[in-house]
Structure 1
Amino acid sequence: MPDVSVRLARPADRPTLERLWLMFRHDMSAYSGVLPRPDGTFRSERLDSALTDPGWAPYLVTSGEHPVGLAFVRGLTSPTRVLSSFFVVRAARRAGIGLRAVREVMAAHPGSWEVAFQEDNTGAVRFWRRVATDIAGEAWTEERRPVPGRPDAPPDAWISFEVPAVPRSSLHRPGSAA
């Protein structure tokens, strides 16, 4: 597996996260039907919240010196954490980077978790079911929920599971085997 690092994003990482965000929203537009705004950007409220709201945590995923993904967690002060956004660039997919990044992010915030995805996104369906099984065994659930404010959109699939607390010494370090 490539040298992968997952760390909390710093204010100086904002330009990198903004670029990754555009790639993420572009990928998601295939399932949401949302077009870019006239200036070529997409709505970025989640990006802004991840970087400024104390109930959120933004993560940057790198492989060597290359930014390869992001993960935004919300609900840090709630009983259930939500992986609000998760993205790995196409060139880094299917190399174990996504699963490793999710494990590290979730291990940093043990407890109840939820992840939403679109049923039409077959890659996401396979990935998130694999993540849930990898982390929680068979102790996970999946349900359909309407998309808030989008009655025209098909419901999202939501997976829920528990992430056990892991001793800090057991967490993977950059460059270590997964």
Structure 2
Amino acid sequence: MEAALVPVTQANKDVLANVYQFYDYDFSPFTNQDVNSNGQFEVNIDYYWEGDGRWNPFFIMVNGSIAGFLVVLFENMDVDPDPRHVIYDFMILQKYRRAGIGRQAALQAFGMYNAHWAVAQMDNNTPAIYFWRNVIQHFTGGRYTETYKAEWGKYIQTFSTKNNVKKEESCRS
């Protein structure tokens, strides 16, 4: 199976909002989020399309089907001409997990931008911590930094794809 990143347009934002229901469901053990009185998680992604260009949502597609999504945030774009790129949200549907789809999608995202990167995980989300450490280790060949921000309860990995001649090759791995 091969993953492909497809930009989410405003015309497809309702589809993305629907898929966010699964994301919030999967994430609820870590956030303690509950559904509302209509039996849904509160999802508001309208700000992705409010014109500032910082939010870059993508569907992760496999053979024409949605397998998940990821959102790349250009952090501090309003004040920094070279903003740090952040994997803001990332989700693979259960059916596609442990099949390499998440790894492929992450590597494609990293390969799309010549940038400084940050990826964060909640400290109680050990599967995400393991996944991102493994993917980033593979992508960078170990050239990344990890810090723990106790006040946020998050692990953060940082690295750069600036002037990375191996970027294209790494994306195909």
TM-score in terms of structure 1 length? 0.81
Aligned length: 165
Which letter does structure 1 place at the counterpart of 2:66? P
Which letter does structure 1 place at the counterpart of 2:101? I
- Contact kept, 8 Å, 2:120 with 2:154, in 1: the verdict is yes
Matching residue of 1:59 = 58
In structure 1, the residue corresponding to 2:104 is in which secondary structure?
helix
Q: Which has the higher contact order (CA 8 A, sep 6+)?
A: 1
1:71-128, CA deviations, whole angstroms, 9 ceiling, x for partnerless residues?
Answer: 1111263421111100000110111110111111121122111111123222211110
1:120-162, CA deviations, whole angstroms, 9 ceiling, x for partnerless residues?
Answer: 2222111100121122122211222233xxxxxxx11111111
- Contact kept, 8 Å, 1:115 with 1:159, in 2: the verdict is yes
Matching residue of 2:39 = 40
C-alpha spacing 1:144/1:43, structure 2 compared with 1 (3 Å):
farther
In structure 2, the residue corresponding to 1:102 is in which secondary structure?
helix
Matching residue of 2:156 = 158
Percent identity reads 22
Determine the C-alpha separation between the residues in 1 that align with 2:163 and 2:95.
Answer: 32
In structure 2, the residue corresponding to 1:86 is in which secondary structure?
strand
Q: Where in structure 1 are there 5+ consecutive unaligned residues?
A: 148-154
- Contact kept, 8 Å, 2:2 with 2:101, in 1: the verdict is no
Determine the C-alpha separation between the residues in 2 that align with 1:48 and 1:160.
Answer: 28
C-alpha spacing 1:172/1:51, structure 2 compared with 1 (3 Å):
farther
Whether 2:125 is the aligned partner of 1:121: answer yes
Q: Which stretch has the larger CA shift, 5-14 or 84-93?
A: 5-14
C-alpha spacing 1:141/1:166, structure 2 compared with 1 (3 Å):
closer
Q: Where in structure 2 are there 5+ consecutive unaligned residues?
A: none
| Cα offset, 1:11, TM superposition | 2.2
In structure 1, the residue corresponding to 2:108 is in which secondary structure?
helix
C-alpha spacing 1:171/1:49, structure 2 compared with 1 (3 Å):
farther
